């Protein structure tokens, strides 16, 4: 078989990569499935162990595969995507991928804003704000912890919502249609309580999106969204 492969202008290791990614794309190997061992691929393609190792090593670096010492090589978890240019409900993002969204409410309260938080809302210290903490799931996998503060003047009925059936984003879009938003993204280690909600090791990095939105001529919401770094990526385009 090596002679047949060599006749193709595509490098041998790349053809092995194409075979592996093709099986994943076709759905024959799904997330978490073990893939053939390097020895099995050596026999299948009739090439050297070094060639196979390069193909597997590069797919691991590209996060298509994941190696577990003493166990084998597996199809890596899917990188869930979130758009940056268009602000969408995470439930819509999940459903657009053909998956199931669910959420778990951890906290819903009315509090008086400390100085730093009040400043973000352009409000005097001590003004009341609504606060929610929600874990979002995709196919029962926790993919986001949403820590949101809301201006009651923009969404007076916020505390009355059933956030198992509507997301904060969906309610705010109805109550106070978005006028503008600013955001930042950084990679951070999650505090222990956030790591526990995401079911990840506290040493793992998270992608953290911080967003401040305006509606009805004032700051409506300040939210911090924590995503497990190994499962998530942000995408966007500007035309």
pLDDT tens profile 11-54: 889 889 889 988 887 778 888 899 999 999 999 999 999 999 99
Please give, one letter per residue, the 3-state secondary structure of 118-178: HHHCCCCCCCEEEEEEEEEEECCEEEEEEEEEECCCCCCCHHHCCCCCCCHHHHHHHHCCC
Q: Is the domain defined by 2-75 classed in CATH 3.20.20.70?
A: no
Say what the pLDDT of residue 3 is.
Answer: 45
Q: Where in the chain are the domains?
A: 2-75, 80-235
* pLDDT per position as a tens digit, 93-133: 888 889 999 999 999 999 999 999 999 999 999 999 999 99
179 compared with 5, residue with greater pLDDT: 179
- Name the band, by pLDDT with cuts 50, 70 and 90, for residue 238: very low
Q: How far is CA 82 from the centre of its chain?
A: 7
What pairing do the DSSP bridges indicate for beta strands 80-83 and 232-235?
parallel
- Name the band, by pLDDT with cuts 50, 70 and 90, for residue 76: confident
* pLDDT per position as a tens digit, 162-208: 999 999 999 999 998 888 888 888 889 889 999 999 998 887 889 89
Strand order in the sheet with 205-215: 101-112, 128-138, 141-150, 218-228, 205-215, 180-189
Say what the pLDDT of residue 26 is.
Answer: 77
- Domain 80-235 sits in CATH at 3.40.1410.10
Helix (H) or strand (E) holding 112: strand 101-112
Pair 223, 147: CB distance under 8 Å: yes
* pLDDT per position as a tens digit, 126-172: 999 999 999 999 999 999 999 999 999 999 999 999 999 999 999 99
Mean pLDDT of 54-62: 87
């Amino acid at each position: 078989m090596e002679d047949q492969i060599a006749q193709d202008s595509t490098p041998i290791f790349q053809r092995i990569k194409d075979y592996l990614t093709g099986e994943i794309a076709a759905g024959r190997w799904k997330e978490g499935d073990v893939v053939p061992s390097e020895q099995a691929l050596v026999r299948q393609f009739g090439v050297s162990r070094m060639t196979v190792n390069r193909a597997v090593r590069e797919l691991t670096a590209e996060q298509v595969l994941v190696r577990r010492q003493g166990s084998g090589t597996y199809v890596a978890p899917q990188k869930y995507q979130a758009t940056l240019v268009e602000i969408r409900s995470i439930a819509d993002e999940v459903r657009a991928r053909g998956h199931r969204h669910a959420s778990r409410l951890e906290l819903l309260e009315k509090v008086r804003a400390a100085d730093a938080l009040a400043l973000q809302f352009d409000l005097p210290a001590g003004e009341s704000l609504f606060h929610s903490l929600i874990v979002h799931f995709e196919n029962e996998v926790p993919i986001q912890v949403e820590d949101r503060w809301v201006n009651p003047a923009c969404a007076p009925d916020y505390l009355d919502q059933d956030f198992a059936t509507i997301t904060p984003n969906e309610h705010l879009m109805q109550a106070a249609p978005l006028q503008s938003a600013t955001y930042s993204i950084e990679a951070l280690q999650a505090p222990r309580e956030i790591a526990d909600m995401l079911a990840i090791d506290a040493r793992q990095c998270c992608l953290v999106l911080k967003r401040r939105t305006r509606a009805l001529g004032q700051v409506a919401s300040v939210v911090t969204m924590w995503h497990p770094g190994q499962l998530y990526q942000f995408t966007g385009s500007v035309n």
